[in-house]
Structure 1
Amino acid sequence: MRVAVADVGTNSSHLLIAEAARGDAGGYRVLDALKDRTRLGECLDGLGNLTPEGEDRLASALTRFRALASGAGVAEIHVCATSALREAPNGPEVASRMLARTGVYPVIISGVREGELTYLGAAHAVELGADSVLLDLGGGSLEFARGDAARALDVLSLPLGAIRMRDAFLRADPPGRRELAALDAAVREALEPHVGRFRVRPGTRVVLSSGTAEAAAEAILARRGEEARGVNGTRLSVAELSELLEYVRNLKGAARARVPGLERRADTVVAGLATLHAALVVLGAQEFTVSEGALREGMLIEELTRLEAYSSSISARQRSVLGMAERFGANLSHSRQVAALARELLARLRALGVDLGAEGEARSVLTAAGALHEVGQIVAQSAHHKHSAYLIRHAELRGFTPREIELVALLSRYHRKSAPKLSHPEFAALSAADQALVTRWVGILRVADGLDRSHAGTARVTGLTRTRDGWQLGVQGATPLDLEGAREKADVWARAFGPLTLKAE
C-alpha cells in the first residue's frame, strides 16, 4: 500500500512517497522524496494574489511531483497548501487551475488543520508526553499546538512566518538591533493574548518542527563540536538558540551561508531564529526537542491509517473489490471516500422513507461501484466509465451474483457523462424494477463522486432534509471544487428524487 503526499508552503514544496510497513501499525517506509523551492511568497501582487509567475512555479512543481509518484506506482498525490494559498484572495481559483493544468489539486487547509497534521507527524517522529507544546514555523505562519502523546488538543495559527517577518522587519544585511527588537516585540504582542493556552508547565515537552529548527540544530551541534547525522530528537536549550541568533545576526548573507546547517537558509534564518526565540521566551521554555516529522509526515500517517482501517474492516466480498481496485491502479483513498459518502447518502434517504431496494444489496453494490468506478482509467482517461463497466463484468468478483456484478458495472458506467437511458442495450435489458434501482443508485453515486471532485477526502455529509421544492444536503469540509462537482452531478438525483441543493457548513 503506497501513498504520495505533498505540502505547498510559502517558501518550498515537498513531496513524500512511502508505503505502509508490514507488521507496524502506523509505520511506513519512505520510498522517495523531492523538494522544490517554489518561493511562492515572492510571487504575490499588491493585493496578495498569487501572480502568473507563481502559478507557473507551482504548476512546474506539481507536474514533477506527479511524474515521480506515477513512476513509483502511486495513482494520485494528496497535496495540502498552507499559508501562501490560504491567504491569497485568488487561492481557490489557483487551486482549480492547478487541477486543470497538472491533474493535481492542492487542497487549501486552515492553520488549525495544518497544526493538527504537523502535531501528528511530530508524534510519530519524537516521543511526546502527556502534555506537549509544538511550534512549527513556516514561511508565512507559525503554528502552536498543545496536546498529549498522540494528538493535538488545542491549535493556534499566527501570521508570524519567517519570510513574512523578514520582509516586514529586517531591511538591512546584517539586520540592526532596532530591527530585531521590533520583530521580537511584534511576536510577543501577537502571542500575548494566547500565552495561557500554550505556556510551558512543569513536565511540558516543547517540540520544534520546521526547516529553520532543523537548520538551527545542525548549527548548534557544529558549534558544540558534534557531528550531525540527522537532528531528529535532538534536545537543545533556548540559551543555545539565543547564542546562535546573536552570532548569525552579525553576519552578512554570504557569511551566514557558510555556517554549517544554514547554507540554504541564509536569507531567512535570522528572522526565523528571532521569531522562534521570542515565542519560546514568552511561553517560558528552557529547552526544546527538534522533530523532523512535520506536516507531510502527518498527512502520510493519516492517509495510511485511513487506508489500513478501510481494508481491515471490509467484508470478504468487498475484499475482492479492493483487490481489483489495487490491481487496476485505482486511487484507493478516493474510492474509499466515494463509497463512504454513497453509503451515508443511502442511509439518510432510507431514513426518510425512500425506497432503495434491499438494504444489504444496496450498500454492497454502491460500495463496490464507489471503489471501482474509475478502474477504467487504466485503459484510457477518455470514456473510462465505459472501460470500467467492461473490466468489472470480466473481473470475476468473488461473492457477487452475476446480476449484482452487472449492477455494479452499470453504476460505474453511469457515474459520469450520460444518465441511464433505454436506448442503452445493457440498461434496457434490466427488469423495470432494476432499472428504477439503478437510476436511484446512480443518482446517489454521482453526487458522492462529485463531493470528492478534488480527491481531498474531506467532505462530510451533515444532514439531508426534504424541502418544498426537493432536497437540501448539508455538507462540511468540502472544497469549492467538491461543491461545484456535486452540483454538476446532481442531475440524475433530481430525476430520481427531486432537485437537490447544497448547504456548505
Structure 2
Amino acid sequence: MKKLRRLNSTFQAGVVDVGAHSIRLDIFEVSGGGKIDLLESLSRTVNLGYDVFRHGSVSPENLARLSRVMSDFSRKLDEYKVQAHRVVATSAIREAFNRELVVNRIRSDAHLDLEILEAPEEVKISFIAMRDSLRRQMEFDKLSGICLVIGTGSLLVSYFAGGLMRFSEEVPLGTVRLFDAFGRSGLSVERVIETLRSQDIGQRMMECVGLEAGRPITLIAMGASVRALTGWIAGTASERDEEDCLTLDPAAIAPTLRRIMNIDPVKLAEELKLPEEEVASAGSCAGILTYFLDAFNCRSFLSPGTTTRSALIYDLIRRNREPERSPFHDDLIAICDAIGCKYGYDPGHGRQVSQICSKLFKKLKRSFDFAPRSELLLEAAARLHDIGRFVDTRQHHKHSHYLISNTQLPGISEEELRIIATVSRYHRKSEPKTSHLEYTMLSAEDKVTVLKLAAILRVADALDCSRRGRFDKVKLVQRGHVLSAVVPESGDFRTERLYLEMKGGLFTQVFGLDVKIEEAPLSL
C-alpha cells in the first residue's frame, strides 16, 4: 500500500481489486472533510478463478493477461497523480500455489505492490464499512445476526451482536466454486444446502457465541452477486450507492430465490441484466442465501450497498487519519472472549491478566520500543493464553499455541497470529530456546516482539495466580532497577511472590528490571 501523509486538503486515491474473474480500478477524490467522490472506474475480465479453483495455480497465459491489465492500471494511477493507493488480491490469488510468482511479476511489470488480502483482513474491513454505513441509517447496535460476504471463491461468515463482531470464519465455498462442483444441470438449492450444512457453521457459532437454534436473527449479505440479485428482486439497479440498503422480507423472497436456480441461464442473464458468465454466481448466491435464511430463522434480511472497493478506500483513509485507535479493537477482544468461552477458559482471569498486561505495557512504553500493534497482540494473547487447558492442564501452554495457531482472528495477519500463539506458549514453564521450532521459525524482529510480550504476560499471569483479582488496582512504580507492583494491604501475598520469582526471570533479562510486590497501607 502506498502510504499517504496526513492530508487535510483534497487528494486522489485509488484501489485496485484483483478478483477471481475480473480486475477493477476505482479512482476517488477525497476532500479534506472526508467526502469521497468516484472519478473513474475501470474493469477488465481475467478468469483467474478458473485456473486456481480447478488447477491450483494461475496459468502463464492468464498471468500475462493480468500483467498487461495491471500495467494499464498503473499508468492510469500515474495519470491522475494518485497520492495513495492500495492494490489487493482476494480469494483466487491468495489460494494460488504460485501466488509469490504473481506478486513478483506484477511488481516487475507494473511497478505495483500487490497485497494478498487474507480472509481475516477482508472480513474486518468489510464489516467496519458495513457497520459504519448502517449506523447512519438505523440502530445497528440493537441488531444481532449473521453477516455474509459472498465471493466467487469463498464465503466469509461472521456473527454480530451489540454492535460488535463476535465470531468469524472463512468457508471455501464461493459462488463459482459451487457452480463448478455441480455444473449448471446439477446445481440445486438442495445440493447447496447440503454442502453448506456439512460445514457445521451453526454448531461452531453455538460453541463460541451461544447462538441457539430457532432464535430470531437478522441476515446481512454483501457481495456483487448479492447486490445483483437483491436489486433485481427489489426492482432497483444492481449497482447501488454504498449508503443504499435494501430491506427484504425473507418469507416473501424465498420462492424467488428458489426459482432463480431453475431458470434457463440465457433467460436469467436477460432478466438480471448480467453477462452470461456471471449468471453462475447468481444461481449459487441464491442457494447460499436460501440456506442461511432457512437454517438460522432469519426474520429480517438486509442487503447494504457496501463493496470491497469502498471498504478498501475507507480503510486506506482511516489508516492514515486515525492511526492510534483501531475501530475494530473491541470486536477483536469480543471474538477472543468468544473463543475463550468455547474452550472453557476463566473469563475473570483472562480479563485481569489483560488489564495488568496493559498497565505494564504502558509503563514500559515510555522507555522501550515496541513493534506496531504490540499492545493489541499482547491483549489478545492475554485473553487466550489459557485456552489449552481445554485439552490438558499440565501442558496447556503448548496446547494454547496449537489452538491459537489454528484459529481465524479477523484483522490479524498470519504473522501476527504466530506472534500471539508464541507469546501464549511462553506464559509459563520454560523460556524461548533454540530447540523450540515455533520460536526459531520467527523472523528476528518477531522474536524480539515475542520476548518482550511474553515477559510481560508471564509477570501478569503470576500476579493473578490466585484468580482473585487482587491486583485490580495495582500501581506501578519504578525505582532504579526495581519495578514495584504496589497494591493495598489485603492479606498474604506469598503465593504471588513465589510465582513471580519463578516466572519473572525473562522480564529481568529483557527489560533489565526486577519486579517486586509492594504493599501499601492505603487504598490506591
Q: Secondary structure at the match of 1:80?
A: strand
1:154 matched to 2:167? The reply is: yes
2:270 equivalent in structure 1: 258
> How far apart are residue 260 of structure 1 and its match?
3.4
1:218 equivalent in structure 2: 231
User: Which amino acid in 1 is paired with 2:94?
Assistant: R
Q: Distance between the aligned counterparts of 1:141 and 1:229, measured in 2?
A: 21
Is contact 2:229-2:238 (8 Å) kept?
Answer: no
> How far apart are residue 133 of structure 1 and its match?
2.9
> How far apart are residue 144 of structure 1 and its match?
1.4
What is the aligned counterpart of 1:70 among 75, 78, 82? 78
Q: Secondary structure at the match of 1:89?
A: coil
2:42 equivalent in structure 1: 34
What is the aligned counterpart of 2:130 among 118, 122, 129? 122
Q: Distance between the aligned counterparts of 2:304 and 2:166, measured in 1?
A: 19
Quickly say closer, same or farther: Cα 1:228–1:54, change in 2 above 3 A.
closer
Aligned ranges 1:429-468 → 2 under 5 Å: none
1:188 matched to 2:201? The reply is: no
2:148 equivalent in structure 1: 135
What is the aligned counterpart of 1:99 among 107, 111, 115? 107
2:437 equivalent in structure 1: none
Is contact 2:13-2:82 (8 Å) kept?
Answer: yes
Q: Deviations over 1:323-355 (max 9, x none)?
A: xxxxxxxxxxxxxxxxxxxxxxxx99x859xxx
Quickly say closer, same or farther: Cα 1:476–1:183, change in 2 above 3 A.
farther
1:58 matched to 2:66? The reply is: yes
Q: Distance between the aligned counterparts of 1:149 and 1:263, measured in 2?
A: 39
> How far apart are residue 472 of structure 1 and its match?
3.3
Gap regions ≥5 residues in structure 2: 1-10, 325-363, 370-412, 423-431, 435-442, 450-524
Q: Distance between the aligned counterparts of 1:475 and 1:273, measured in 2?
A: 47
2:314 equivalent in structure 1: 301
Q: Distance between the aligned counterparts of 1:68 and 1:88, measured in 2?
A: 27
- The TM-score normalised by the length of structure 2 is 0.55
2:294 equivalent in structure 1: 281
User: Which amino acid in 2 is paired with 1:250?
Assistant: N
Is contact 2:159-2:205 (8 Å) kept?
Answer: no
Aligned ranges 1:57-456 → 2 under 5 Å: 57-75=65-83, 77-127=85-135, 128-130=140-142, 131=144, 133-147=146-160, 152-172=165-185, 175=186, 179-190=188-199, 191-196=201-206, 197=209, 204-222=217-235, 230=240, 232-263=244-275, 265-309=278-322, 351=368
- The TM-score normalised by the length of structure 1 is 0.56
Is contact 2:230-2:303 (8 Å) kept?
Answer: yes
Quickly say closer, same or farther: Cα 1:287–1:257, change in 2 above 3 A.
same
Q: Deviations over 1:335-392 (max 9, x none)?
A: xxxxxxxxxxxx99x859xxxxxxxxxxxxxxxxxxxxxxxxxxxxxxxxxxxxxxxx
Q: Deviations over 1:20-77 (max 9, x none)?
A: 33334xx523222222232211123864111112212322332232222222211553
Q: Deviations over 1:93-139 (max 9, x none)?
A: 21122111211122113212111111122223333334453111000
User: Which amino acid in 2 is paired with 1:15?
Assistant: L
Is contact 2:221-2:302 (8 Å) kept?
Answer: yes
> How far apart are residue 467 of structure 1 and its match?
11
Q: Deviations over 1:195-238 (max 9, x none)?
A: 4257799785432111111111122123xxx7778372111122
1:23 equivalent in structure 2: 33
Aligned residue pairs, count: 328
The percentage of counterpart residues that share the same residue type is: 19
1:337 equivalent in structure 2: none
Q: Secondary structure at the match of 2:52?
A: coil
> How far apart are residue 164 of structure 1 and its match?
0.3
Q: Deviations over 1:255-311 (max 9, x none)?
A: 111113545632321112112221332222132111221322222112101222369
Quickly say closer, same or farther: Cα 1:458–1:46, change in 2 above 3 A.
closer
User: Which amino acid in 2 is paired with 1:298?
Assistant: A
Q: Distance between the aligned counterparts of 1:148 and 1:65, measured in 2?
A: 40
Is contact 1:120-1:152 (8 Å) kept?
Answer: no
Q: Secondary structure at the match of 1:22?
A: coil
1:454 equivalent in structure 2: none
Quickly say closer, same or farther: Cα 1:132–1:275, change in 2 above 3 A.
closer
Q: Secondary structure at the match of 2:87?
A: strand
Supply the RMSD in Å over aligned alpha carbons.
3.9
Quickly say closer, same or farther: Cα 1:38–1:47, change in 2 above 3 A.
closer
Is contact 2:217-2:297 (8 Å) kept?
Answer: no
Q: Deviations over 1:407-459 (max 9, x none)?
A: xxxxxxxxxxxxxxxxxxxxxxxxxxxxxxxxxxxxxxxxxxxxxxxxxx998
